[in-house]
Structure 1
Amino acid sequence: MTDAQVVKDRAHQLVEAAESLFAAGVMSHSGHANLSARLDGERFLLTPGFVRGLRPDQLATVSLDGRVLEGELQSVSAEIIAMHSTVYNARPHVGATIHTHSPAATAFAVAHRPLPCRTEPMLRFGQAEDVPVVPWGPRGSDVSVRGIADVLERRPTTAAVLLANHGLLVFGPDSAATAHLVVAIEESAEAEIAAAAIGGAVDFPEGALEAVRASMARVSS
């Protein structure tokens, strides 16, 4: 596949992921989000500052060191380049990163409370542990970026973090898988809050992750 074909393919995947988030109803009232997709070891595609009604030709190509190589970014997106590049630098296997202000997940971020893994979709879509909280720092600042990098180093298997007083940051192998996990996390956060009103959520029994993986393997084999 040529470089132009890779860019076109990843751009379409990113747009489809953005559309799926709106269709799932997990976006904030403002619809704020930023999404990116890795192109190679040096570049990634990034949304321009809005995602509602996004077209593939509106994405910018950005270098991991923060330079806009092609396209244009609004200042609101230029601020968060480092947030995305930090994930790609820390996790070479990550192919896409999504940041949203999904309401229920953001409630946990505002409360500085890790989101427990107590729903099966979180197990199935790659977050078989609590979603940790990154200490607050101004968006895109060195403080915020260092906080993300520190949590990723300390939690090498997490596929998501909560940004204190801000929102949700999720990363995965590709745009579709990452969007699926955003939805699973938001649904889990909603369920956790609802369960609190009827006595509180309960942890999985021991061995639940292994049981889910075995069930998935039987279907795919």
Structure 2
Amino acid sequence: MTPDTVSVPADRVTLDGDFAVPASARAVVLLPHGVDNSRQNRRSQSIATELHTAGFATLLVDLLSESEKRRDRQPGEQRFDVGLLARRIVATVDWATIQPATRSLPVILFGAGAEADAVLGASADLPERVLTVVVWGARPDPTADAVKRVRVPVLFIAGGQDTALLRLAEETVHHMEGPHSVRTVPEATHLFEEEGALDQVITTAREWCDEQLRAAPEA
């Protein structure tokens, strides 16, 4: 389906997003970008398409405004400010939860690569509004305060060939008090560029989200 281009107010700037809500959507998945790539990259678009087919609404959002992307001085300063990015994810969740098409839907946060710490930080601040978090290809900081505060269920997906990342994911969940799981794509490296690897990531993430949706009424 063709998403709508939207503007999300956050932290006194406006963030660009792509918003798509299929009929009978079961939840809205937020996929933030801004550290490694933009929301318009092919992999993110592919993930969103697969999620639509599975009955999920999606909001792909760039966490930096257009003026911030163009700014030349001190390159990289804002894009690696985890606190700032986490606040903008919180603002994006706020936006999604007041939209008529998604205000009654559970919120799921996806984070890949460098966005993982910001996604975990935002989920720690929104325990009542975020259903679950899925991160993959990530190198989170296991000592971060936000990791200890996360209470929502978290799934880490790691490439089985990236033993360093796998150890880091296992160390991170060791500091979490909420429900968590670490699952692997056996033949993949941390970028999941091998044939079929990204499909396995999407399948694993979808199955986890289905589990959390089924458990939500019981909770």
Give the structure with higher Rg (CA): 1
TM-score (norm 1): 0.30
Which of 1 and 2 has higher RCO (CA within 8 Å, sep 6+)?
Answer: 1
